[in-house]
Amino acid sequence: MKKLTLTLGLLAFAAPSYADKLDDIIASGTLRCAVVLDFPPMGMRDESNNPIGFDVDYCNDLAAALGVNAEIVETPFPERIPALMSGRVDVGVASTSDTLERAKTVGMSIPYYAFENAVTVNDNSGITDWEGMRGKTVGATAGTYEAIWLEGQINEWGEGTFRPYQTQADVFLALSQGQLDATVSTVEVANANVASGNFPGISVVDKAPMVPDYVALFTLREEYGLINYLNLFVNQQVRTGRYAELYEKWIGEGEPADLTIPGIYR
Amino acid sequence: MFNYTFQWKQAMARLPQMLDGALVTMQIALLSMLLGILLAVVLTMFRLSGIRVLAGFTKTWVEIARNTPALFQIYMAHFGVASLGIYLNPFLSLLVGITFNNAGYLAENFRGALKAIPDTQTRAARSLGLGAVGAFRHVVLPQMLRISFLPMTNQMVWAILMTSLGVTVGMNTDLYGVTQDLNALTFRTFELFAIAAVIFYVITKVITLGARLIAARLFRY
């Protein structure tokens, strides 16, 4: 009898545990999101230093759907992957472009937002459209989709210089000072910075002819349960109109990018 | 808990690009060191000149170089001077920033080395007919450089490592800049930075060992 109890006890310990990340999040009662807070209007801070923005609300919605508390973990663009891999965050709600190259490393959801990109120039540069950037000194925020595109474009032209800066603020400072002739950033960021008045002598002149920058939520590549949940969640945000609501709240009037699949998902 | 599968093959394919970056890193460090030594000698001569304005200039330089972060010095060399209408490209900004830092630290090294050279040598040289500059150049300077040779290699190592701060001013051709670019492209963070760390380690190790060999050969008594 004693022996049997012991055996059963050992079996209970030895039995493999199937709790996945989704279970862990529900059990812990907290969803930790990596959010970039240097990327208005997606992620930023209000006057009392609280995180706000589209991505912050999106994380809060996700936590509410899971029935847990949301914890916003500020994560600069280059630190998104270390934050995930070292277990400091559960998911990234960080405007992460869903490139195939990156998807070899992390698991991406279906896109939850799409950016269009604009060309902003220093007024003294004489650039009037995106092709005017040929041969000029241009820059963008290191590690972003538009930076990768712009560097590729400069290489394709074979003339001009590309400079990545660490923060969006440094890019626009350099542009305003005249160290850069032009930059490519999301339309949202470009408009916000021109309107802010912090960077005199710059204007938005053109759209960049890029495939729209679709961004995805991300988590560990092998967490299928969580990725499935994220996909459904993104669909539900679109279906219920919450996506359009958040767009109006943070970006403003206008049409958000269409994230539906006709005949399948509204 | 560290949930990550290392893909060395994918990262190693980028090694040639990173080695090109390492060359740029060494180029900047070497240039900043040569310029830094020249400037530090001038600063030391200012200090010894007995002219108050010049000695004060040296003091101010050393104070700022040693008591503010190198990051701040490089940032000012790019964004700071640009507000005065002087545009330095990232390479030059980084070079100027590190050179400024090097010169400050080296001037302090030289001050320490000078303390080890007895004043009587200068006096003896002067009484043998050498001028003030001649005595410094022929008697004091060679000894000063010899005594501070190993501390100088320290500064060289520091210069190599400081090049990694160039990313803040838009530098993307040095080892750290290249690594960060590749990271954004592939998200292979850990492999790429591990490779970069090894390259940094090898460079600095070669420099310190090389310097020790050179010192052993040059400074035999």
When pLDDT is cut at 50, 70 and 90, the band that residue B3 belongs to is low
The verdict on residue B7 lying in a domain is: no
pLDDT at position A188: 85
pLDDT at position A16: 52
The verdict on residue B12 lying in a domain is: no
Q: What is the mean pLDDT of residues B38-59?
A: 94
pLDDT at position A5: 61
Q: What is the mean pLDDT of residues A109-113?
A: 95
Q: How close, in Å, is residue B67 to chain A by CA atoms?
A: 24
When pLDDT is cut at 50, 70 and 90, the band that residue B73 belongs to is very high
Partner-chain contact B1 A87, CB within 8 Å: yes
A182 beta partners: A121, A138
- Specify whether A154 is located in the same domain as A202: yes
Q: How many structural domains are present in chain B? A: 1
The CATH number linked to A167 is 3.40.190.10
Q: How many structural domains are present in chain A? A: 2
- Specify whether A189 is located in the same domain as A124: yes
CB contact at 8 A, A115 and A187: yes
Taking the C-alpha atoms of residue A32 and residue A54, their distance in angstroms, rounded to an integer, is 16
Question: Over the stretch B163-178, which tens digit does the pLDDT of each residue have?
Answer: 999 999 999 999 999 9
pLDDT above 60: residue A187: yes
Instruction: Provide the pairing of β-strand A182-186 with A137-141.
Output: parallel
Q: What is the mean pLDDT of residues A54-70?
A: 97
**Residue with structure tokens 């160039």?**
B166
Partner-chain contact A85 B189, CB within 8 Å: yes
Cβ count near B1 (within 10 Å):
5
Which residues on A lie below 8 Å from B90 (Cβ)? Answer: 163
The verdict on residue A73 lying in a domain is: yes
B82: Cα separation from own chain's centroid: 23
Rounded to 10°, the helix A54-66/A242-250 angle is: 150
The CATH number linked to B136 is 1.10.3720.10
- Specify whether A104 is located in the same domain as A187: no
A75: Cα separation from own chain's centroid: 11
Q: How close, in Å, is residue B199 to chain A by CA atoms?
A: 21
Which residues on A lie below 8 Å from B174 (Cβ)? Answer: none
The verdict on residue B130 lying in a domain is: yes
In this prediction, does ipTM exceed 0.90? no
Question: Over the stretch A189-224, which tens digit does the pLDDT of each residue have?
Answer: 898 888 888 899 999 999 999 888 999 999 999 999
- Specify whether A130 is located in the same domain as A43: no
CB contact at 8 A, A156 and A245: no
Rounded to two decimals, what is the model's pTM? 0.81
- Specify whether A240 is located in the same domain as A110: yes
- Specify whether A111 is located in the same domain as A226: yes
pLDDT over 90 percentage in chain A: 66
Taking the C-alpha atoms of residue B174 and residue B74, their distance in angstroms, rounded to an integer, is 15
pLDDT at position A4: 61
* Smallest CA–CA distance from B2 into chain A, residue: A86
pLDDT at position A211: 87
The verdict on residue B139 lying in a domain is: yes
- Specify whether A134 is located in the same domain as A194: yes
- A with B: how many residue pairs have Cβ under 8 Å apart? 82
Rounded to 10°, the helix B149-162/B189-218 angle is: 160
Question: Over the stretch A115-142, which tens digit does the pLDDT of each residue have?
Answer: 989 999 999 999 999 999 999 999 999 8
> What are the φ and ψ backbone dihedral angles of B58, each rounded to 5 degrees?
-60, -45
The verdict on residue A14 lying in a domain is: no
- Specify whether A189 is located in the same domain as A82: no
Taking the C-alpha atoms of residue A134 and residue A147, their distance in angstroms, rounded to an integer, is 15
pLDDT at position B1: 52
The verdict on residue B3 lying in a domain is: no
- Specify whether A125 is located in the same domain as A168: yes
The verdict on residue A5 lying in a domain is: no
Partner-chain contact A85 B184, CB within 8 Å: no
- Specify whether A201 is located in the same domain as A141: yes
The verdict on residue A54 lying in a domain is: yes
- Give the DSSP per-residue string, A63-123: HHHHTSEEEEEE--GGGHHHHHHTTS-SEEEEEEE--HHHHTTSEEEEEEEEE-EEEEEEG
Residues in chain A: 266
Range of the domain at A243: 20-115+214-250
The verdict on residue A246 lying in a domain is: yes
Which residues on B lie below 8 Å from A178 (Cβ)? Answer: 82, 87
Question: Over the stretch B88-129, which tens digit does the pLDDT of each residue have?
Answer: 999 999 999 999 999 999 999 999 999 999 989 999 999 999
A185 beta partners: A118
Q: What is the mean pLDDT of residues B61-90?
A: 93
Taking the C-alpha atoms of residue A161 and residue B140, their distance in angstroms, rounded to an integer, is 47
The verdict on residue A257 lying in a domain is: no
The verdict on residue B149 lying in a domain is: yes
The verdict on residue B178 lying in a domain is: yes
Q: Which of B87, B177, B186 sits opposite A178 (nearest CB)?
A: B87
pLDDT at position A3: 64
* Range of weakest confidence among A127-141, A222-236, B2-16, B64-78: B2-16
Q: How close, in Å, is residue A80 to chain B by CA atoms?
A: 9
* Range of weakest confidence among A96-110, A134-148, A249-263, B67-81: A249-263
CB contact at 8 A, A34 and A73: yes
Q: Which of B167, B186, B187 sits opposite A166 (nearest CB)?
A: B167
pLDDT at position B53: 96
CB contact at 8 A, A112 and A259: yes
pLDDT at position A86: 86
Q: Which of A148, A170, A177 sits opposite B83 (nearest CB)?
A: A177
The verdict on residue A170 lying in a domain is: yes
When pLDDT is cut at 50, 70 and 90, the band that residue A6 belongs to is low
- In B87-149, the DSSP E strands lie at none
Range of the domain at B109: 17-218
Partner-chain contact B188 A174, CB within 8 Å: no
- In chain A, the DSSP E strands lie at 30-35, 44-45, 51-52, 69-74, 91-97, 107-115, 117-122, 137-141, 161-165, 182-186, 202-207, 213-219
The verdict on residue B144 lying in a domain is: yes
How far apart, in Å, are the Cα atoms of B130 and each of A134, B117, B140, B145? Answer: 61, 17, 12, 20
When pLDDT is cut at 50, 70 and 90, the band that residue A41 belongs to is confident
pLDDT at position A38: 84
Taking the C-alpha atoms of residue A217 and residue A97, their distance in angstroms, rounded to an integer, is 9
Mutate to test the interface with A, among B5, B6, B171, B187 (most CBs of A within 10 A): B187
Q: What is the mean pLDDT of residues B31-54?
A: 94
Q: How close, in Å, is residue A177 to chain B by CA atoms?
A: 7
Partner-chain contact A179 B78, CB within 8 Å: yes
- Specify whether A88 is located in the same domain as A218: yes
pLDDT at position A11: 54
pLDDT over 70 percentage in chain B: 98
Taking the C-alpha atoms of residue B100 and residue B107, their distance in angstroms, rounded to an integer, is 11
Q: How close, in Å, is residue A12 to chain B by CA atoms?
A: 23
pLDDT above 60: residue A37: yes
Q: Which of A86, A105, A174 sits opposite B186 (nearest CB)?
A: A105
The verdict on residue A182 lying in a domain is: yes
Which residues on B lie below 8 Å from A36 (Cβ)? Answer: none
Taking the C-alpha atoms of residue B137 and residue B145, their distance in angstroms, rounded to an integer, is 11
